[in-house]
Amino acid sequence: TMPSISEQIKTKQVERFHLIYGEEAYMVRYYKNALISALSTPGDEMNCTVFQGSGIVPSEIADVAVILPFMAANRLIVVQNSGFCNSSSDMTDYFDSFPDTTYIVFVEQQVDKRNKLYKWIQKNGCVTECKHQNTASLCTWIAGYLSRFQKKISKNCAEYMISRIGNDMEFLTNELDKLISYTGEKKAVEIEDVDAVCGGVTEGKIFDLLDAVALDFHHHVAGHRNEVNYARLGVDAREHGDIRAG
């Protein structure tokens, strides 16, 4: 079987065709950046090209992909949010013409596993799905994240944090950064720190907010302004609602 993306990066034996996708935007971005680091030199725009968005044309990618690298070991092409794994395209028709020095990384939010491009990369390259992590993995990751800032957290406290915020690593990163500055010189992050800093936006909260707004609007229209306490929810949602993968 194909070595995992982590294994490939560690051993510097990287496949030429990659597809990274999934619901965990933090991990999608992490693996994308790891491949960019492994396959290109920072600032080398001559040999690293990024295509972004749904207006991408496969033949334009191919025009760049067939060029040999200039004073470098390889050429890297990153294709983001093209939608090629959800719709029919002739992308795979061009792959045979790419020299061995060309590496191509597709980064998508969603895929259709019956799709031609998806199947081609699954057979000839490496497909990495980034799912939300389970609590045990997240506790380990949280402890590792905090240890880079010389801070410790108990398993119990990490689990509590996840129960408040959910399992989305983008949200968790945001809250961990707040905790790091809030705790200052203090070495251990404790439950009272989590309570003080972490808003705790879960999907349920977002839906509560939407319901509260809808309810309030309904009462307003009916002529009775119902006092619904959604102000605090609103602040939380605003704080967290605009986190996107880069």
DSSP tag of 130: -
Q: Which 3 state secondary structure label does DSSP give 45?
A: coil
Strand 17-21 to 102-108 pairing: parallel
The model's pLDDT over 16-67, given as tens digits with 9 standing for 90+, comes to: 999 999 999 999 999 999 999 999 999 899 999 999 998 899 999 999 999 9
The model's pLDDT over 90-108, given as tens digits with 9 standing for 90+, comes to: 999 999 999 999 999 999 9
Mean pLDDT value of segment 186-212: 76
Mean pLDDT of the chain: 86
Residue 70 pLDDT > 60, yes or no? yes
Percent of the chain surpassing pLDDT 70: 80
The model's pLDDT over 166-183, given as tens digits with 9 standing for 90+, comes to: 999 999 999 999 999 999
The pLDDT score that the predictor gives to residue 227 is 39
DSSP tag of 134: P
Residue 215 pLDDT > 90, yes or no? no
Q: Where are the beta strands (DSSP E) in the chain?
A: 17-21, 48-52, 75-80, 102-108, 126-129, 152-153, 188-189
Mean pLDDT value of segment 79-91: 95
Cα dihedral sign, 214-215-220-222: positive
The pLDDT score that the predictor gives to residue 217 is 56
Give the range among 142-146, 196-200, 233-237 with minimum mean pLDDT.
Answer: 233-237
Residue 237 pLDDT > 90, yes or no? no
The pLDDT score that the predictor gives to residue 207 is 58
Residue 3: band (very low, low, confident or very high) from pLDDT cuts 50, 70, 90? confident
Residue 235: band (very low, low, confident or very high) from pLDDT cuts 50, 70, 90? very low
The model's pLDDT over 200-212, given as tens digits with 9 standing for 90+, comes to: 655 555 555 566 6
3-state secondary structure 10-29: HHCCCCCEEEEECCCHHHHH
Token pair, residue 9, equals 């990066």
The pLDDT score that the predictor gives to residue 199 is 74
The pLDDT score that the predictor gives to residue 192 is 95
